[in-house]
Every structure is written in structure tokens, then in C-alpha cells.
């Protein structure tokens, strides 16, 4: 049985979420994709599933600019509970912002794997997902 990667998109733009889901699906890699419209929604989901490895995402594609709880606020809250999370979650900050301050701030947060400028191309997404699937396969 193929390993299934759990991918999570966190963005307040419904068109972008739809586009990301379709782009991820187009890679035809084994994935379960969920989407949330702000950082608080995904944080609540993670907190509710802290000890459920099978429910937690393997990767989060996190927008910066969102209402309720933005990407940086999410990261502040996530870092406080990270040690309680039973799964290592890979987080990519994904934003249309080219502001050097945003980019530098994201790079200073060790739990963020990389900063990706929107739109994210299918080649880049496929590369990320393939690498994560490979890591997952090696870990099992």
C-alpha cells in the first residue's frame, strides 16, 4: 500500500485554495488534502488532534495575510504547542508578499522549512511532495 501524504492549505482566498488543491491533485501523488481559511482554524484542528498522528497533516502550506489569525500569529501559537504534537509537520510559508521583512521574519522561524512566493508552480509542489513522501517511506 502506498503511503498517503496529508497536505494542508491555509489561506483565506477561496480561489487560491481551490487552485492549490487542483495543482496538488494534478501531481497524481498519493495525498489527502484539507484546507482551512485562517490560522485559528488549523490551530484548533491541530490542538484537537495533538496525539493522533493519522489525523495531523504532514505538510502545511501557510499564507501570511489572513483575517482572524495570520500566518505569523499561527506560527507563534504553534511553536508553543509544537512539543506536544506527535508528528513532525513540515511548514511552508506561502505568500504573494515580496517584502524583505516578511521573508526575513519567515526565515528566522526554524519551524518554517521555506518561504515560497505565490503562485506556486506544479513542478515545485510536486518536488516538495515527492521529497516528503520519500522521507515518509524511509521513516517507516
What would the pLDDT profile of 60-75 be if each residue is shown by its tens digit?
999 999 999 999 999 9
Query: What is the domain range of residue 39?
Result: 5-121
For residue 63, is it within any domain? yes
Task: Note whether residue 60 is domain-resident.
Answer: yes
61 is a domain residue:
yes
Kindly report the CA angle at 75 between 15 and 137, in degrees rounded to 5? 80
Assigned domain for 78 exists:
yes
pLDDT at 3: 73
Give the CATH number, domain containing residue 43: 3.40.50.2300
Q: Evaluate whether residue 53 is within a structural domain.
A: yes
Quick one: average pLDDT of 45-72? 96
In a domain, 129, yes or no: no
> Is 133 inside any structural domain?
no
What pLDDT, on the 0 to 100 scale, is given for residue 52?
93
Higher pLDDT, 12 or 137: 12
pLDDT at 59: 98
Query: What's the structural domain count of the chain?
Result: 1
- What strands, in cross-sheet order, belong to the sheet with 90-95? 31-36, 5-10, 59-62, 90-95, 112-117
pTM here?
0.95
Per-residue pLDDT at 91? 98
Q: Is residue 138 part of a domain?
A: no
Amino acid at each position: 500500500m502506498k503511503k498517503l501524504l496529508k497536505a494542508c492549505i491555509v489561506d483565506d482566498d477561496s480561489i487560491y485554495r481551490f487552485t492549490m488543491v487542483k495543482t496538488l491533485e494534478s501531481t497524481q501523488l498519493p495525498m489527502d488534502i484539507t484546507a482551512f481559511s485562517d490560522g485559528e482554524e488549523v490551530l484548533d484542528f491541530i490542538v484537537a488532534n495533538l496525539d493522533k498522528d493519522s489525523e495531523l497533516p504532514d505538510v502545511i502550506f501557510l499564507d501570511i495575510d489572513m483575517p482572524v489569525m495570520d500566518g505569523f500569529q499561527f506560527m507563534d501559537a504553534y511553536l508553543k504547542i509544537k512539543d506536544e504534537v506527535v508528528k513532525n509537520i513540515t511548514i511552508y510559508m506561502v505568500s504573494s508578499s515580496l517584502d524583505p521583512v516578511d521573508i526575513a521574519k519567515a526565515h528566522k522561524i526554524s519551524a518554517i522549512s521555506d518561504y515560497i512566493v505565490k503562485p506556486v508552480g506544479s513542478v515545485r509542489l510536486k518536488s516538495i511532495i515527492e521529497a516528503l513522501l520519500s522521507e515518509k517511506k524511509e521513516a517507516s
